[in-house]
Amino acid sequence: MGLTDIGEFGFIRRVRRGCLIREAGVVRAIGDDAAAVAGDPGQLTLVTTDLLVERVHFLRESITGVELGHKSLAVNLSDIAAMGGTARDAFISLAIPEDCSIEFLDAFYDGMKALAAEFDVNILGGDTTRSKQDLVVNIAVIGSVPEPQMLLRSGAAPGDIIVSTGFLGDSRAGLHLVLNHIATETPAFRALRRAHVLPKPYLREGRFLAGTGAVTAAIDTSDGLSSDIRHIAEESGVGVRLYADRIPISDHLTAFCRGMNSDPVDWALSGGEDYTLLCTVTPDSIEPVCRRYKEKYASPLYRIGEVIEAKNMEIVQPSGEVKPFDVTGWNHFR
């Protein structure tokens, strides 16, 4: 079944079920010229938006509708997480080509709604239109954060410890499997593909970290560790020193790299779309923050390096040798 069979308004009626997760503060949801919501008193409103284009960000034949729906929303929730915020409402714009089935779109909304429900996020509106060729998804998410707790990219100071909330490089390896049509039959390959198509937004962790008052800067790893940490360094006017043997590498990525005869640290540095949080933490708070984080989330905060005064981007090799690292992270136009 295609969209021409049910029309734009039929489609909207079809997908609006299950979009309202949390009614408090929602004065008008899907169905008018704009959505209307009450603000959180005393909190800042956060707004982020991400655009995913077929053949640039995904291949429709290589991703399920559920996965694409999950991922499209997750990358936006990750941006709210990186500000230390709570995500509240999502707005979904879809440009749909004729050969895209209703079943794929239903699955897309199912994936999105499941993630939205997990994080108490409403789907409150958007825009639905045709496309001549590529499926295009734009999601805008609004959230809120108490102003004193907001996490910015600026604020890192020399001596601060750099942490990541999760493994790095897995998503890039998963993308490699997808692009090269490599069967994901082993548990390791399945896990890598999963890291790529079903990224976890670290919203609860971001909120917790913001609440500690010990985080001086934060970003989510969307472009790759080397590129994302550079944003923090540039916005904060500092440099960074990473330690190659402290970068968190999953067993899955290790297995994958053994087969590829390549260094997992390269995949972590230049890979993208892991959507872990990368934060700088004041040195006197790092111990209690890491301990409380581990107690709360049963997963460590990985300490991967430190902020330095000299505006260099350095990585310490296992041999002890210090090397500058290139910004080999994803740049959409090069």
Angle at CA of residue 297, ends 293 and 302, nearest 5°: 55
Q: Does position 224 bind a copy of itself by CB under 8 A?
A: no
Name the phi and psi angles at 321, rounded to 5: -70, 135
Interface of this chain with a copy of itself, residues 153 to 182, rule: CB under 8 A: 153
Determine which residue in the list 65, 125, 239, 264 makes contact with a copy of itself, applying CB under 8 A: 125
Q: Does position 55 bind a copy of itself by CB under 8 A?
A: yes
Interface of this chain with a copy of itself, residues 244 to 283, rule: CB under 8 A: none
Q: How far is the CB of 322 from a copy of itself (least distance, A)?
A: 26
CB 28 within 8 A of CB 122: no
Q: Does position 24 bind a copy of itself by CB under 8 A?
A: no
Nearer to a copy of itself, 115 or 218 (CB): 218
Q: Does position 203 bind a copy of itself by CB under 8 A?
A: no
Q: Does position 298 bind a copy of itself by CB under 8 A?
A: no
Determine which residue in the list 1, 7, 59, 117 makes contact with a copy of itself, applying CB under 8 A: 7
Q: Does position 93 bind a copy of itself by CB under 8 A?
A: yes
23 contacts: CB under 8 Å, gap ≥ 6 = none
Q: b or e along 260-292 (b: 16 or more beta carbons within 10 Å of the residue's beta carbon)?
A: eeeebbbbbbbbbbbbbbbbbbbeebbeebbee
Distance from C-alpha of 235 to C-alpha of 153, rounded to nearest angstrom: 6
Nearer to a copy of itself, 38 or 298 (CB): 38
Distance from C-alpha of 160 to C-alpha of 281, rounded to nearest angstrom: 5
Judged by CB under 8 A, the number of residues near a copy of itself is 74
Q: How far is the CB of 190 from a copy of itself (least distance, A)?
A: 28
Q: Does position 150 bind a copy of itself by CB under 8 A?
A: yes
Q: Does position 136 bind a copy of itself by CB under 8 A?
A: yes
Name the residue among 171, 15, 34, 33 with its Cα closest to residue 96. 15
Containing 7, the helix (H) or strand (E) segment is helix 3-15
Q: How far is the CB of 331 from a copy of itself (least distance, A)?
A: 6
Determine which residue in the list 24, 38, 183, 298 makes contact with a copy of itself, applying CB under 8 A: 38
Q: Does position 148 bind a copy of itself by CB under 8 A?
A: no
Tokens of 267: 């995949």
Determine which residue in the list 46, 63, 265, 279 makes contact with a copy of itself, applying CB under 8 A: 46
Q: Does position 103 bind a copy of itself by CB under 8 A?
A: no
Q: How far is the CB of 175 from a copy of itself (least distance, A)?
A: 16
Q: Which segments of 82-126 does DSSP mark as H helices, in order?
A: 102-118
Tokens of 71: 């991922």
Please compute Rg for the chain using Cα positions: 20
